[in-house]
Structure 1
Amino acid sequence: MMITKEKTASIVAEFGKEFGASEKDSGCAAVQVAILTERINNLKEHFGSHKHDYSSNRGLLKMIGRRRRLLKYVSTENEDNYKSLIKKLGLRK
């Protein structure tokens, strides 16, 4: 359910090169959105078999809200980065 350090490091390296200053820039908003998207997708799989896990559902909703706010920030800073991030992550179909 949790993403491993190696998976997080690979996400940071992949998105850091494209959107951030370096491969280790985990504070970049685009990198944070990518990490949150991975965590949200893992929780979606969890809810397939645990439909009544309401405390995890609350955490999921908080993560979705945080990702929404970060995406709003990215869209106000650079529209081109926002569009490429959305396309790469498969959001907003």
Structure 2
Amino acid sequence: MALDKQQKLEIIKKFGANENDTGSPAVQIALLTARIKYLTEHFKEHPKDFHSRRGLLKLVGQRRKLLRYLKEHNFEDYKRVVTELGLKG
């Protein structure tokens, strides 16, 4: 797994309403982004790892759905998450 417990707690603290808020879309998007960044670096070293590439594509799709949901339901959080994570640049 890409993230250790401490890194996850930092992301949850930064994007969540409190330290137990792991289900909000903003936290989920931030955690998915961290995993996507890790896998992207992994593929630079292992370009033929097609099984993990499929997992990466699933993560990207899941993040896209969560971003669409957040944009429709809470635009202010959407703008904050996109700018802090550097998405849609």
TM-score (norm 1): 0.91
Name the CA distance, whole Å, in 1 between partners of 2:76 and 2:56: 28
Q: Secondary structure at the residue paired with 2:20? A: coil
Residue 11 of structure 1 corresponds to which residue in structure 2?
A: 11
The answer to whether 1:35 aligns with 2:27 is no
Please report how far the alpha carbon of residue 54 of structure 1 lies from its aligned counterpart in structure 2 after TM superposition.
0.2
Question: In the TM superposition, what are the counterparts of 1:37-52 in structure 2 within 5 Å?
Answer: 37-52=33-48
Structure 1 spans left out of the alignment, 5+ residues: none
Question: In the TM superposition, what are the counterparts of 1:1-93 in structure 2 within 5 Å?
Answer: 2-16=2-16, 20=17, 22-93=18-89
Please report how far the alpha carbon of residue 23 of structure 1 lies from its aligned counterpart in structure 2 after TM superposition.
2.5
Q: Secondary structure at the residue paired with 1:39? A: helix
Structure 2 spans left out of the alignment, 5+ residues: none
Letter in 1 for 2:75: E
What is the root-mean-square deviation in Å for CA atoms of aligned residues? 0.9
Aligned length: 89
